[in-house]
Amino acid sequence: MLSLLRAVIGRDLRLAMRRQADIVAAVFFFIIVVSLFPLGVGPEPEQLRRMAPGVLWVAALLATMLSLPRLFADDHRDGTLEQLALAPQPLALIVLGKVIAHWLVAGVPLVVLAPVLGVQFDLSSDALTVLTVSLLIGTPALSGIGAIGAALTLGVRGGGVLLSLLVLPLYIPVLIFGAGAVDATVSGLGPQAHLSLLGALALGGVFFAPWPTAAALRVALE
Amino acid sequence: MTERAINWFAYASPQTFYPLAGKLIPWFWALAALFGIAGLSIGFLFAPTDAQQGEGYRIIFLHVPASWLSMFIYLVMAFWAGIGLAFNIRLSGMMASALAPTGALFAFLSLWTGALWGKPMWGTWWVWDARLTSELILLFLYIGFIALQAAIDDPRRADKAGAILALVGVVNIPIIYFSVKWWNTLHQGASVSLTRAPSMAAMMLWGMLLCALACWMYSIAVALMRVRTIMLERERHTDWVRALLDDKA
């Protein structure tokens, strides 16, 4: 079981490394979206500091959306997905491996960049730490829940737009608790409650999402 | 098996359900009209004017039933979707896709009438109250379901994909509701409260219940009409549909 998981993660990571342009594009999308907000609303530090958690989190959601279609699309196109579905091991486990690989490729860069971008918004060091931690805890949930949408829209007309329509409403709790943790720190309430709930969402999301995803993949492969 | 009065499974087949639905639809329309007339006349003619809100409160006779129905229909839709996924019954998937537009309509009506009520009462069209926000998200979920089914050409695949989405949505609705609720309460106390006067006049309650029943009957009638159309469309290559159409022609 574990060796299968490791093999799937290793394979997806290797594939991602061979096409680094995709990763870089999503990361720069994140940076650009975040940098647009001060240009749009004005450079007052007070206002930016209040907006920062929400802006960074929304940008993280959008950047994740951008990389989700590739989660299964390439494997679907060249037939690998059918082979994986035929494997004797449960498909949900393979999906879990792909979700973890997606998080490593799409989630971790956002976590690493977030403090740098947070400095642009004049966040205090406490808030920066909480922002990074909240993204670290929350982004796995984004990959997990997003996988359901990616599987449902596999090979469907206008899949990209449809994917955001399906997945963004389901992301709302993650957004609320993720941005809420930073907000609570800024306002002096302490982020523990939000971070715990975020952790619960992430664990629940990563644990349960592979099943509906696997079911959706089987529907798509019929 | 002759003991059994009605064989319910017989109606799981579109061929037998089509005429049954056709017979039931006028009854549900009649009930909807009856309850609607009763509820609205109580609401507009007999229910007393609210002490605080004046005549403007009367929008609840549409607003509250619409909100109830929008949530209830999502559950029913997910129920049919789940049945369809588990037992592979075609009719269940058709029911789910027939219910979705009505549910979306009620979610929209609930938001719209809420906004119309909010302007005179709260002085604003929209507040980020937990209930308003979760109703808005419910509308998004409906739209996602409809869009997903519309984008998939193969109806069986559309049914199954929609069913998975509806079930995921049902699991998520409580999570979304509570997260929105906590988000709001953690942020700040609501500047306006949705809680109405503690004791509602009995007449108002009756009017509201009758209107809710009217909306309910309307939903059933419309969903049955829609499911009949879906049946004809999907089963157009079968003998019974051809025979039916030949009869009509």
CA–CA gap between residue B52 and residue B67 (Å, rounded): 22
**pLDDT tens sequence across B3-36:** 555 666 677 788 888 888 888 999 999 999 999 9
* Helices vs strands, H then E, count in chain B: 7, 0
Instruction: Identify the pLDDT of residue A215.
Output: 92
**pLDDT tens sequence across B49-59:** 776 677 777 88
Residue B249 in any domain: the answer is: no
Instruction: Identify the pLDDT of residue A124.
Output: 87
- Asked if residues B222 and B54 have their Cβ atoms less than 8 Å apart, the reply is no
The residue to which tokens 């309850």 are assigned = B35
Instruction: Identify the pLDDT of residue B1.
Output: 42
Interface confidence, given as ipTM, is 0.85
Nearest Cα of chain B lies from the Cα of A205 at a distance, in angstroms, of 10
User: What is the domain range of residue A49?
Assistant: 2-221
The beta-strand segments (E) located in A60-185 are: none
Question: Domain total for chain B?
Answer: 1
Contacts of B136 in chain A (CB under 8 A): none
Asked if A177's CB is within 8 angstroms of B176's CB, the reply is no
Instruction: Identify the pLDDT of residue B5.
Output: 58
Q: How many A×B Cβ pairs under 8 Å?
A: 76
Tell whether the model's pLDDT for residue A149 goes beyond 90. yes
Question: Domain total for chain A?
Answer: 1
- Asked if residues B138 and B74 have their Cβ atoms less than 8 Å apart, the reply is yes
Q: Categorize the per-residue pLDDT at A138 as very low, low, confident or very high, splitting at 50, 70 and 90.
A: very high
Residue among B132, B168, B170 with most chain A CBs within 10 A, to mutate: B168
Q: Residues B87-108, buried b or exposed e (16+ Cβ, 10 A)?
A: eebbbbbbbbbbbbbbbbbbbb
Asked if A201's CB is within 8 angstroms of B148's CB, the reply is no
Q: Which of B160, B165, B176 sits opposite A166 (nearest CB)?
A: B165
User: What is the domain range of residue B162?
Assistant: 22-191+199-242
Q: Is the Cα dihedral B145, B150, B154, B155 positive or negative?
A: positive
CA–CA gap between residue B178 and residue A53 (Å, rounded): 21
| pLDDT tens-place values along chain B, 249 residues long | 445 556 666 777 888 888 888 889 999 999 999 999 998 888 888 777 776 677 777 888 888 889 889 989 999 999 999 898 888 888 888 999 999 999 999 999 999 988 888 888 777 888 777 778 888 889 999 999 999 999 988 888 888 999 999 999 888 888 877 777 777 665 444 444 445 544 566 777 888 889 999 999 999 999 999 999 998 888 888 888 888 888 877
Nearest Cα of chain A lies from the Cα of B217 at a distance, in angstroms, of 30
Interface of B with A (CB under 8 A): 137, 140-141, 143-144, 147-148, 151-153, 156-157, 160-161, 164-165, 167-169, 171-172, 175-176, 179-180, 182-183, 186-187
The tokens of A83 are what? 């082979």
From residue B78, how far is each of A109, A144, B85, B97, B197 by CA, in Å? 37, 22, 10, 10, 34
Non-local CB neighbours of B141 within 8 Å, separated by 6+ positions: A169, B74, B169, B173
DSSP H or E stretch at residue B87: helix B60-87
Nearest Cα of chain B lies from the Cα of A114 at a distance, in angstroms, of 22
Whole-model pTM?
0.86
Instruction: Identify the pLDDT of residue B57.
Output: 77
Asked if A173's CB is within 8 angstroms of B179's CB, the reply is yes
Nearest Cα of chain A lies from the Cα of B159 at a distance, in angstroms, of 10
Name the DSSP class of B54.
Answer: B
Nearest to A174 by CA among B175, B132, B131, B188: B175
Q: Which of B147, B161, B171 sits opposite A165 (nearest CB)?
A: B147
Non-local CB neighbours of B245 within 8 Å, separated by 6+ positions: none
Nearest Cα of chain A lies from the Cα of B1 at a distance, in angstroms, of 36
Give me the phi and psi of B54, to 5 degrees please.
70, -145
Instruction: Identify the pLDDT of residue B86.
Output: 86
Asked if A212's CB is within 8 angstroms of B151's CB, the reply is no
**pLDDT tens sequence across A14-60:** 998 888 888 899 899 999 999 999 899 888 888 888 888 899 999 99
Instruction: Identify the pLDDT of residue B193.
Output: 46
